[in-house]
């Protein structure tokens, strides 16, 4: 009888360990699905590249707050505005990603501005996206036009 009780305790401990584990997975936390990502390499003689992608928040609203890459000195979030008929780029601190809505980063819209880009002949580069909730996600992004 004593033996049986001990067995039950061990089994229970095993179960609660499992529960703690599954509670830690991020399946329930809001996340962002990135698709159609690519990096437009710098023009000849320049070192500024641009990153484009589609972002869709799943499971809740998300806010993109920054990006970094081994292949660039630093990356800013930019948008385009039209000022007196002239297109200008403007830095933004954050990009809201409402749940379920696809937010496109594309030429003449939001984009990642990659300063000091050193892509060489690379066919892809890593880009780490940072979100307001503390998540950071590293992607492998192809270099070149889609
Ligand atoms: Cu820009």
Residues 38-57: tens digit of each pLDDT: 999 999 899 999 999 999 99
Q: Is 12 inside any structural domain?
A: no
pLDDT at 59: 96
Distance from chain centroid for Cα 144: 19
pTM: 0.79
Task: Please give the distance, rounded to the nearest whole angstrom, from the Cα atom of residue 111 to the centre of ligand 1.
Answer: 6
Task: Please give the distance, rounded to the nearest whole angstrom, from the Cα atom of residue 105 to the centre of ligand 1.
Answer: 11
Q: Is 10 inside any structural domain?
A: no
Name the token pair of 135.
């998540």
Task: Please give the distance, rounded to the nearest whole angstrom, from the Cα atom of residue 100 to the centre of ligand 1.
Answer: 26
Task: Please give the distance, rounded to the nearest whole angstrom, from the Cα atom of residue 101 to the centre of ligand 1.
Answer: 23
Dihedral sign from CA coordinates of 42, 141, 102, 116: negative
Give the structural domain span for 37. 31-142
Task: Please give the distance, rounded to the nearest whole angstrom, from the Cα atom of residue 31 to the centre of ligand 1.
Answer: 25
Q: Is 2 inside any structural domain?
A: no
Q: Is 96 inside any structural domain?
A: yes
Q: Is 3 inside any structural domain?
A: no
Contact 39, 119 (CB under 8 A): yes
**Residue 74 is part of a domain; what is its CATH number?**
2.60.40.1890
Residue 92: is it exposed, middle or buried by C-beta count within 10 angstroms (0-12/13-18/19+)? middle
Burial per residue of 101-131, b for 16 or more beta-carbon CB atoms within 10 angstroms, e otherwise = eebebeeeebbbbbeebebeeeebbebebeb
pLDDT at 10: 45
Contact 125, 143 (CB under 8 A): yes
Q: Is 83 inside any structural domain?
A: yes
- Residues lower than pLDDT 70 in the chain: 1-27
Q: Is 136 inside any structural domain?
A: yes
Task: Please give the distance, rounded to the nearest whole angstrom, from the Cα atom of residue 15 to the centre of ligand 1.
Answer: 51
Task: Please give the distance, rounded to the nearest whole angstrom, from the Cα atom of residue 120 to the centre of ligand 1.
Answer: 20
Q: Is 46 inside any structural domain?
A: yes
How many domains, in total, are found in the chain? 1
Residues 7-23: tens digit of each pLDDT: 444 444 444 444 444 44
């Amino acid at each position: 009888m004593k033996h049986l009780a001990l067995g039950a305790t061990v089994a229970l401990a095993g179960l609660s360990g499992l529960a703690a584990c599954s509670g830690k997975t991020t399946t329930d936390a809001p996340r962002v699905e990135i698709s159609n990502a690519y990096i437009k390499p710098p023009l000849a003689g320049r070192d500024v590249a641009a990153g484009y992608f589609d972002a869709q928040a799943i499971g809740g609203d998300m806010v993109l707050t920054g990006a970094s890459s081994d292949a660039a000195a630093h990356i800013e979030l930019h948008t385009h505005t039209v000022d007196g008929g002239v297109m200008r780029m403007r830095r933004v601190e954050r990009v809201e990603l409402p749940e379920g809505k696809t937010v496109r980063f594309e030429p003449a819209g939001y984009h990642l501005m990659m300063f000091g880009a050193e892509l060489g002949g690379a066919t892809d580069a890593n880009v780490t996206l940072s979100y307001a909730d503390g998540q950071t996600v590293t992607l492998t992004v192809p270099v070149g036009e889609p």
